[in-house]
Amino acid sequence: MKKNALKWTAFLFILFSIGAMICPSAYVMRWMSPPDSSEIWTSAYSYFSHIPYGYANFFPFLTVITGILAALFCLISNVSAKLTKPALVFTCISVGFSLLSLLTSYSISLAGVFISVFMLLSVVLQCFYLRIK
């Protein structure tokens, strides 16, 4: 695989993960019911929603911010061959935040798993690109 194709494929995986973040069922929150019932309520939100942030679930929104910064730096590195290491750093941070948001939600959604997998694949491709560079 050519070096240029590696960089653009890593960028596409970041875009796919941002697309999964837009999904309205990407982050699932669990709510406890009143004491007289043993029912557990769940509600799903987008990673871009401020509702989980308002309930002290910071990781989905931090995943969004670092994912957008990773996409921006990856796009700049694809066009001008600069800022390849900051793109990798922000993608690694975004992987960490996405995994933490999966661990803290107590209910795993398919979109949340896709976000982590796509970001992780982007990290692998960026590391492979830096290794053959």
pLDDT digits (tens, 9 = 90+) for 3-18: 788 889 999 999 999 9
For 39-93, write each residue's pLDDT tens digit.
Answer: 878 888 888 988 887 877 888 899 999 999 999 999 998 888 777 888 899 999 9
User: 25 pLDDT exceeds 80?
Assistant: yes
CA-CA distances (angstroms) from residue 15 to 11, 20, 107, 110, 114?
A: 6, 9, 24, 17, 12
Contacts 24+ apart (CB under 8 A), 86-91: 87/126, 88/123, 88/126, 88/127, 88/130, 90/66, 91/10, 91/14, 91/66, 91/119, 91/122, 91/123, 91/126
Q: Token pair for residue 52?
A: 């989980």
Helix 110-132 vs helix 59-80: crossing angle, to nearest 10: 30
User: 33 pLDDT exceeds 80?
Assistant: no
Mean pLDDT (whole number) for 9-37: 87
- What are the structural domain ranges in the chain? 3-27+40-132
User: Can you give the pLDDT at residue 53?
Assistant: 79
* % the chain with pLDDT above 70: 98
User: Can you give the pLDDT at residue 1?
Assistant: 56
From CA 72, how far away is CA 43, in angstroms rounded? 31
Give bridge partners of residue 30 from the DSSP assignment: 42
